[in-house]
Amino acid sequence: MKQRLLILITLLATGGISLNCVGPRTSEALEIGRPAPEFKLPDLSGNAVSLTQYQGKIVLVDFWATWCGPCRLSMPLLEDLQKEYPNELVLLAVNLQEPLDEVRQYVTAQRIRSRVLLDEEGKVGRAYGSESIPMQVLIDQKGIVRDIQMGFSASMGTRLREEVRKLLGS
């Protein structure tokens, strides 16, 4: 048992495997190089947040749920990335189909600082084809999808950082 655990940890640390929580196939509409589907969702305070209000900034949309183990691993990496680029990058953490109170309690307990949005009916998740979570979609300053990451891997933070640098031209 210890040997299996050691192998799993080694594979995770080297990025040798990707972890995700899989759901039903929902859509194939999202494509790199095409405009990101517009959305408007409430945040935890009930304020409406839309993708277009962040035009001119890089937006990283993270689809997640409280019950998803790999989502718990990816969130700190994404929040660190947002801290590195506070003026250029906006992280929108879109919770999929969970009640407000449950999400709020989780966000407080985990000290999540991202802007958390509620997709209680899953419409935005379906529009983006989030068949597995976590799923990150990197959108450029003009609203074009530039990268799609499914699942968690130990190298995802580095990979996304490189993509942000490319979009910033540095």
Q: State how many domains the chain has.
A: 1
Q: Which residue is catalytic, options 61, 65, 68, 112? A: 68
* Each residue's pLDDT tens digit, 37-63: 999 999 999 999 999 999 999 999 999
Decide if 62 is inside a domain: yes
19 vs 64, residue with greater confidence = 64
First vs last C-alpha separation in the chain: 46
Domain containing 51: what range?
19-168
Decide if 12 is inside a domain: no
Tokens of residue 70, six digits: 């790999």
User: Which CATH number fits the domain that encloses residue 111?
Assistant: 3.40.30.10
- 68 assigned to active site: yes
- 21 assigned to active site: no
Decide if 11 is inside a domain: no
- 8 Å CB contact between 58 and 89: yes
Decide if 10 is inside a domain: no
Decide if 8 is inside a domain: no
- pTM for the whole structure: 0.84
Task: Determine which helix (DSSP H) or strand (DSSP E) holds 80, and give its type and residue range.
Answer: helix 69-84
Q: Which residue is catalytic, options 71, 90, 107, 135? A: 71
* Each residue's pLDDT tens digit, 103-161: 999 999 999 999 999 999 999 999 999 989 999 999 999 999 999 999 999 999 999 99
CA–CA separation, 157 and 75 (whole Å): 10
Decide if 147 is inside a domain: yes
Decide if 33 is inside a domain: yes
**What number of residues does the chain have?**
170
Q: What is the model's pLDDT at position 131? A: 86
